Chains A and B, each alone.
Chain A
Amino acid sequence: MLQHKKKTIGVISIMGGLSLLSLTGCGSNMAAPVNPSSGSVGTTQHGVLLGVGAENEYANVMQQIGGKYLSVSAIMSDPNTDPHEYEASPQTSSMIAHANLIVQNGLGYDDFMNKLESASGNPHRKIIEVQTSLGYSNSTPNPHLWYAPSTMPRVAQLIADDLSALLPAHKAYFNHNVAIFDASLQPYDRELEHVQKEFKNAPVATTEPVCDYMLEAAGMANKTPWSFQAAIMNGIDPSPQDVNTEEQLLSNHQVDVFLYNQQVVDSLTTSLLQIAKQHHIPVVGVYETMPPNYSYQSWMQDEVIDLQKALQYHTSTQTLS
């Protein structure tokens, strides 16, 4: 009896370990072998360069700067999936093997890119990692850098510089596109300034740190505890204390707006959304990757306009379309 009991417990712990491995390990190293097949690595086809943006907002800006000399693909672009859970496919790795220019975010947000890049060595390929290029340290807690208003203009210039190095003859063309891009961001900047001036330190609640950089620029006071935001972002359960704090913010009307990440939804965030609606707190749906039919500029501009509408007229704008 005693002997038997010991054995079963041993088996249980081994099985537990195995099942854990099989469930968590099932996708983490998807960096499939790349075969440098037909395509001409590092050269151009019909004078058009190939670009890859790890997230579709970076791909969008790449296209705007590269214009007719760049054909861009985006890897993460589905607004219905959580980018933090992305797993690369063999098709993706072939795309990366043939790219001339890659823009990726860094800060652990798209680690799979580094794996795929090292799996397909290509000395002529240029890679812009936004985190390193803009000097963010590895311990930066909020990876959603594209929501910082200062990020994209600098990234746009980096893209133009790399494209000019690849196609020196068109340097003026690329720089001209940067100027157009910067000018088109002005309405967004003006709207941010407007919100900052009119509603300085307005209290808001969030589910996730997605648009925190934008809220900071708009002068909002984000009341949601960081530990809550981080737990939701990383797909773990927040502590009961934090859940309680967040619920109180909404049910006691301690915030003016509830910013809700459309792309990371679970039973907790859904119930928070209900509490916000019950207590007539205006909801602004924010997106982690660029929604369809938008450009980076129009996306950012619409989100800040939605924030402004929520603050001024208490209107909810749950989805962009």
Chain B
Amino acid sequence: MRTLLNVIFAPGFFQSSEVFNALVLGTVVAVISGVVGVFAVIRGQSFAGHALADFGATGASGAFLIGVNALWGFLSVGILGGAGMDLLGKRPRERDVATGIILSFMLGIGALFLYFTTTEKNISGAPITILFGSIFLVDARMIPIIVILGIITLLVVLFLYRPLILSSIHPDLARSRGVNVRLLSMLFMSALAMTVEQSAIVIGALLSTALLIGPAATAIRLTSSISHAIVLSVFIGLTVTWGGILLAYDSYYFPPVGRGWPVSFFVASLILVFYMLAQLYTAKNIRKKDMIAKESS
């Protein structure tokens, strides 16, 4: 029993303060991504979510350059970018193009900041940290801040829950019932920005979209009730995040021994596995229904 536990949880897993911090952060991020992600998928804003993460990455490289914690860069530029996109994107057709163009420009600025950070200032790990996260090395002082921000994000979404569902599915109906769709959209965009930027700290700007969209999309495939989808999406998010942290810790004993593979790799892979399983499951169900329909006819 003991050896089996040791195989699953490599030695030191429960004693390591790095692992503990990672689990706390991972939990916050998985929960808010799971909840906000379902709305992002329903509203068709997954590309916006990705763009927000990349905006944040530019902010984070700027933060490295002036020497403040990357979280502040992620958040400030992410929320500003979210507001900008919401203002520009009045018509859905224009929205993707506008987002794409601003995104490229922001990435260009990010490249410039990173160039200065690595050549002028002596910070060598900045690009990898920003793009792929470093959950095991987050400054412990940031953890209470991230937990509080996570709770605020969750409260905002819970507060908006009913009107948000209505305006996401039937914007015209929501408008006719007196819901302020503009305001709602802006508030949701801020919640989306907060979520994406916080998960960017954990698994990096490039992969935070995966945690936002993956569990939510998988959950939506499996159930047609929004509240069920949210619960399921949080559950999948927690499973892939905790699983990713555990695998990354254990990977210290994978070849080349003594290195440890990145958390973001494991989280992203687990998300793909879940999505594919859900696809197989639903495909089988559809086939079964087809067969039943054929036989009864």
Q: Which residues of A are interface residues toward B (Cβ below 8 A)?
A: 4-5, 8-9, 11-12, 15-16, 19-20, 22-24, 26-27, 80-82, 84-87, 225-227, 231, 235-244, 262-268
Q: Which residues of A contact B153 (CB under 8 A)?
A: none
Q: Mark B159-185, 1 if CB is under 8 A from A, else 0.
A: 000000000000000000000000000
New A-B contacts (5) at CB < 8 Å, excluding given A16-B207, A241-B252: A8-B213, A15-B103, A84-B124, A227-B259, A239-B249
B111-148 interface (Cβ within 8 A of A): 111, 114-115, 118-129, 131, 134, 136-137, 139
Stretch at the interface among B11-19, B24-32, B186-194, B233-241: B11-19
Q: Are B123 and A265 in contact (CB under 8 A)?
A: yes
* Complex Cα spacing A99 to B213, Å: 55
Minimum CB distance partner of B134 in chain A: A237
Q: Are B107 and A85 closer than 8 Å at their CB atoms?
A: no
Q: Is the CB of A15 within 8 A of B119?
A: no
Task: Tell me, in angstroms, the Cα distance from A235 to B252 when the chains sit together.
Answer: 18
**Cβ contacts B47-72/A at 8 Å (1 or 0 each):** 10011001001000000000000000
Query: Which residue of A26, A85, A87 has the most chain B CB atoms within 10 A of its CB atom?
Result: A85
Bound CA span A23–B220, Å: 33
* A238 vs B249: C-alpha distance when bound (angstroms): 11
Task: Check A86 against B119 for contact (C-beta < 8 Å).
Answer: yes
Please provide the 4 A-B residue pairs with the shortest distance between their CB atoms, ordered closest to farther: A239-B260, A235-B124, A240-B18, A85-B118
Nearest CB in chain B to that of A26: its residue: B111
Contacts of A262 in B (CB 8 A): 122
Partner of B44 from the list A8, A19, A27, A238 (CB cut-off 8 Å) is: A8
Count: A-B pairs, CB below 8 Å:
133
Which residues of A sit under 8 angstroms from B103, Cβ to Cβ?
15, 19
User: Which B residues, 85 to 122, have Cβ-Cβ distances below 8 Å to chain A?
Assistant: 103-104, 107-108, 110-111, 114-115, 118-122
Known: A5-B217, A22-B108. A237 touches B136 (CB 8 A): yes
Whether A235 pairs with B125 at a CB distance below 8 angstroms is: yes
Q: Is the CB of B124 within 8 A of A264?
A: yes
- Docked complex Cα distance between A15 and B206 (Å): 9
The reply on B209 being an interface residue by CB < 8 A is yes
Contact (Cβ within 8 A) A15 B118: no
B259 near A8: Cβ-Cβ < 8 Å: no
Interface string of B232-272 (1 = CB under 8 A from A): 00000000000000000101100000111010000000000
Question: A27 to B118, alpha carbons, bound, how many Å?
Answer: 11
Instruction: Please name 12 pairs of A and B residues whose Cβ atoms are closer than 8 Å in the assembled complex, sorted by A.
Output: A12-B50, A22-B108, A27-B115, A80-B120, A81-B119, A82-B118, A82-B122, A85-B118, A235-B128, A237-B134, A237-B137, A263-B122
A263 to B118, CA, bound (A): 11
Which size class do B's interface residues fall under? 35 or more
In the assembled complex, the Cα of A160 lies from the Cα of B252 at a distance in Å of 48
How many angstroms between the C-alpha atoms of A19 and B19 in the bound complex?
A: 29
Q: How far is the CA of A240 from the CA of B262 in the complex (A)?
A: 11
CA distance A235 to B130 in the complex (A): 12
| A87, closest chain B residue (CB) | B119
Contact A12 B209 (CB under 8 A): yes
A23–B209 touching, CB < 8 Å: no
Q: Report B6 CB to chain A, min CB distance, Å.
A: 14
Contact between B252 and A239, CB atoms less than 8 A apart: yes
Q: Which residues of A contact B12 (CB under 8 A)?
A: 241, 244
Give the docked Cα–Cα distance between A267 and B18 (Å): 14
Most B-side CB within 10 Å, residue of A227, A238, A267? A267
Q: Which residues of B contact A226 (CB under 8 A)?
A: 258
B47 and A266 within 8 A (CB): no
User: Distance (Å) between the CB of B50 and the closest chain A CB?
Assistant: 5
User: Which of B10, B50, B122, B139 has the most C-beta atoms of chain A within 10 angstroms of its own C-beta?
Assistant: B122
Q: Is the CB of B46 within 8 A of A82?
A: no
